[in-house]
Amino acid sequence: MPCFPDRSPFDPAWNEDRLREECGVFGVVGVAEAANFVALGLHALQHRGQEAAGIVSHDPAQGFNSARRFGYVRDSFTDPVLMETLPGPIAIGHVRYSTAGSKGNTAIRDVQPFFGEFSMGGAAIAHNGNIVNALDLRREMIDRGSIFQSSSDSECIIHLMARSLQRTIPERMKDALRRVEGAFSVVAMTRTKLIGVRDPLGVRPLVLGKVGDGWVLSSETCALDIIGAEFVREIDPGEMVVITPEAGVESHRPFAPSRPRFCIFEHVYFSRPDSILGGRSVYETRRAIGAELAREAPAEADLVCPVPDSGTPAAIGFSQVSGIPYAMGIIRNQYMGRTFIEPTEQIRSLGVRLKLNVNRALIRDKRVVLVDDSVVRGTTSRKIKEMILDAGAAEVHFRIASPPTAWPCFYGVDTPQREKLLAATMSEAEMRDHLGVDSLRFISLDGLYRAVGSEARDPAQPQYCDACFSGDYPVAPSDMIERGFRLKAAE
């Protein structure tokens, strides 16, 4: 994730009021034309990053090859001419999240995977997450002569590997990652080995699959499905796997044991609903969140409507428990790409209406419960409310399938500064008045824990990373503290 240059945290499109995951990673070893499998996997992970994608492959005859492109995977990596430049039985790839003005703020050199040539051979890495001590590491290595090519915190890993005195790439990677703080799920490759690592807290997901005689690493199980791979297991927090077709999977534990703190927002929004997290269907979890929300925050209404697409499973659960009919009151335009909204300010000003349209015949004169995954700044929520009222709705009630987002994330999620988060400065009642809706309720943090199948939240040792709701950061964000950010305990 790029953490050094100043940049706007929001796309000027309708989606300006969403939390966004930064990226997805995918790797394959032991199959013919591995890069084609990676391209398919990245396509399935496109929801985790839409700005750019990259693939690195290795062929015994041609060595390492790479391709990095801005835009969607489908627009570049379906080109057979391009894919012919990425031969070999091993490859890794990365999709990167898009930010406002991304092609002005981001150079192609920022697009992963990153590659380094070492004395024992080349290696490429793709990283999902965020390194919270990257500024300190970067300064230290620049002072000692390192020359950085990108603005990404992920490049620190390559430079730390270069400075290691270990004799193999996996051992150098262990050395490097022991110095890194924050969240990281890494997929890496050498000429013959596919490597996967999760940080000791396991904040970001990483799974292992089997396809034919080969092996797969992926951010989510949905990307295994697209290539017909069998899900084997999740990579454990703090685990490194080194995979070759001959030896199979070797497991290492290079970090001191820690209590896992998986990102709870992966259950709420980031992961695809057809993925499996912790042995549990993401769709079923989101449906359970909606059911819990209906028990905690009932409403008198005629229809339950999701804010598509992320609010759909929760809306179904809310409807099932409340007995209020479920309806598609808002229709999403599935064919409107990002480029369509960029040309003029007049087009941008249309905002939500380019992406969503109200089913007027259904909504008119109805009391409507809108179920959404989160409220960040409230901009999109207000626009959607206005659309619903313009269509003739009698009442608008918001039910939110996550607790109030009052704290920024520093572990790989694109969030604004804290003062721009609605819940950081307003009570629930004040947010209701600000949005201009008849009622507004969020699921409680304990309710969210129940919905994901966990015991009640332990304030002393939370089972998940829920810092965006609680302000309880499992790893102190040292770079941001240096810039003046105040932790909850300091307020």
The set of catalytic residues is 23
**Gap between the Cα atoms of 106 and 114, Å rounded:** 15
Question: Alpha helix (H) ranges present in 371-482?
Answer: 379-390, 422-425, 428-435, 445-451, 467-470, 478-482
Amino acid in position 18: R
Backbone angles phi, psi at 277, to 5 degrees: -125, 125
**Gap between the Cα atoms of 170 and 165, Å rounded:** 12
**Gap between the Cα atoms of 122 and 233, Å rounded:** 28
Backbone angles phi, psi at 100, to 5 degrees: -60, 130
Question: Ramachandran region of residue 392, left (φ > 0), alpha (ψ -120 to 50) or beta?
Answer: left
Minimal CA–CA distance to 310: which of 336, 287, 327, 342?
A: 287
Between helices 282-296 and 312-322, what is the axis angle to 10°? 50
**Gap between the Cα atoms of 158 and 175, Å rounded:** 11
Would you state the structure tokens that stand for residue 25, as one six-digit string? 């990673």
Minimal CA–CA distance to 370: which of 322, 329, 324, 331?
A: 329
Question: Alpha helix (H) ranges present in 328-437?
Answer: 345-349, 352-355, 360-363, 379-390, 422-425, 428-435
- Alpha carbon 292 to chain centroid distance? 24
CB atoms within 10 A of CB 321: 18
Q: What angle do CA 232, 130, 137 make, to 5 degrees?
A: 125
Please say whether the dihedral angle defined by the alpha carbons of residues 141, 143, 146 and 150, taken in this order, is positive or negative. positive
**Gap between the Cα atoms of 307 and 303, Å rounded:** 13
